[in-house]
Structure formats: C-alpha cells, structure tokens
Amino acid sequence: MSLGDLEAAARVLKPVAVRTPLLPADAISDHVGMPVRIKPEMLQRGGAFKFRGAYNFLSRMDPEVRKRGVIAPSSGNHAQAVALAAKLFGIPATVVMPTTVTPAKRGGAERLGARVVLAGKTTADRMSKAEELVEQEGLSMVPPYDHPWIIAGQGTVGLEIADDMPDVEAVLVPVGGGGFSAGLATAIKLRLPNARVIGVEPTGAAKLSRARAAGKPVKLDHTAGLADGLLAVEIGHLTFAHHQQYIDDVVLVDDEALCRAMRLLLDRMKLVVEPSGAITVAALMEGKFKPRGPTVAVLSGGNIEWDGLRELLGGG
C-alpha cells in the first residue's frame, strides 16, 4: 500500500468522518514519565474507527453493484460502521452478528437501519452466514479487515497522528483482525519512519503474537475475553504482511488491566471506552510497553451501554 492510497482515502473521508483530536493524558503521562496523548476514536461516527474503512470501501464500489445492497459479518463495530456508511449512500445493509453480541452494538446497527442476522459465536460462523446471504440475495460483502480499501480507510488515523504530532516516538494501536493496526502502522512508517508502532492484543486472543512467532498467520483454536472487538481467531493474511513490514512489537494485556484502564479513562478523562478501545492505555499503565519519548495511545471505540459499564466497573 502506498502513501497515495492512504491520502486518497483521507480525501474521500474528509467531508464525512470526524477528524478526532489528540488529547493530553496527564494521568497516564505522570504514570509512565513521558508525555502521552490519546486519539479518541470513540468520538468517530458510529462510535469507533471502523467507519473510516467502511465508508472508503463503499465509496470505491461500482454504483450499480452498490445499490443492490451490502452485507457485513461483524462482532459489532464493523456492523455499525457499514450500517452508517450504507445509510449515507442510501442503500440497504445487512449485518451478521454473533448470538453473544452486546445490546449496545446490536442496537446501534438497528438504529442505523441495518437488518441484523445472528449467527453462532465465531468469526467463521458469521462469515459462513454472510457468504450464504451473498449467494441468495446478490448482496456485496464488505470485509471487516483483510482488504486494501478497508486498510487504507483505517490508516487515515495514522496520517492524522503524523500531521498533529510529528515528534511522536511511539504509537500504540489495538490488534483484532489487523485492518486498523496494519493501516495505521503503514501510515505512520511512511510519514515518520523513525516512530515505533506497537500492537496491543488481549491475552485471550494472541493471534498476531502467534503469527509473528510462526512467520505466517496461525488460526487459534479458541479466543475469549472482554475485548470482544479483538477476538478474531486469525490475523488477516494481507494485514499480516503489513504488520511484518511496519509493526515494531506486540504486547499482551489481560482482562483485569482492561477494566482498570476503562475506569481510569472514565474517572480522570471523562471518556467512555469499551474494553477493546482501552487496551492501549492498559498496556501503558501496566508497564507492558515503556515509552522513550512522546507517545500516542489510540482508543479504538466506545460502543458499550450503561449496563455493560456498570457490570464491568461497578465493583471498583
């Protein structure tokens, strides 16, 4: 992927996406002894970074094909992003979500006008059902991460960081299927070659760590944890190629640390962040990564409802 691909996606997104700010994070800076800023993508339309990739993808589709409708397999945030992008383009959207989807993420997709279909608990279950509906109804698949248009859209977050903080020494990004981390890492390295990019994934879904050890994507037998947006069983093959070229290191964070990070962000910064989104702050607070200079922690999303917050954080 070239810098031109990323900049083209940025031009497409400029009229419709939120250019999220870099916010000072004094509580985190004091803890790690280095200046830290956060990139709050929970303030993005749809409540997460996913809108960037979904809208860029739909914008690149043939208009005659697009108007027949799109379908997206998703644990939640991609579904809402595709629903919103489809609404803006005036086309129908179907999303295939797990039977365990949170009320916030299902409700968000429904409010945006998507038809919600539930299928199993795994990525494979959702993909299988989506492919079935593609065949039956002539819909077009919008992949969640392993596609160049998706990666380029997500990578616009990295362009914004490079523009707003050219002296950044390290950027921490959550890792799920890898579209976000691949795009962001590519953008940062092409703009700021000396900056480090650190992927952060949950201990219960260490698919990138396993892939890097093996030198190729490895399908995990099982994934589990609070960070439902990061529980893919395998890193994407296209995204893995970007990771190998542009990601400097990967660290792991457990569920207890996620809850502590969510609580810190709520108490000290007045930001509501879902577990997947808080994982980069958790890595810093737990010492999984030790900054050597100005650092950015990307908060990928905030799609969690009140009952979920109360359950996770109510016990202190």
Average pLDDT, the chain: 94
Q: What is the mean pLDDT of residues 150-171?
A: 98
| Residue 181 appears among annotated catalytic residues | no
Q: Which of 50, 105, 189, 207 is catalytic?
A: 50
For the beta sheet containing 295-299, the strands, ordered from the edge strand earlier in sequence to the opposite edge, are 23-24, 36-40, 295-299, 170-174, 196-202, 249-253
Assess whether pLDDT exceeds 60 at residue 209.
yes
pLDDT category, 315, cuts 50, 70, 90?
Answer: low
**Helix (H) and strand (E) counts for the chain?**
14, 10
pLDDT value at residue 124: 81
pLDDT value at residue 316: 45
Residue appearing with tokens 């299928």: 119
pLDDT category, 213, cuts 50, 70, 90?
Answer: very high
| Residue 128 appears among annotated catalytic residues | no
CA neighbor of 72 nearest in space, from 143, 150, 146: 143
Q: What is the mean pLDDT of residues 282-298?
A: 97
pLDDT category, 228, cuts 50, 70, 90?
Answer: confident
CA neighbor of 288 nearest in space, from 251, 260, 262, 248: 251
Q: What is the mean pLDDT of residues 307-312?
A: 84
Pick from 72-81, 128-137, 178-187: least confident: 72-81
Q: Which of 75, 140, 181, 300 is catalytic?
A: 300
> Residues of the chain with pLDDT > 70: what percent?
99
Residue 275 · residue 227 · CB < 8 Å: yes
pLDDT category, 149, cuts 50, 70, 90?
Answer: very high
Note the pLDDT tens digit of each residue in 242-288.
Answer: 999 999 999 999 999 999 999 999 999 999 999 999 999 999 999 99
Pick from 32-46, 98-112, 161-175, 263-277: least confident: 98-112
Domains and CATH numbers, the chain: 3-48+147-313 (3.40.50.1100), 50-141 (3.40.50.1100)
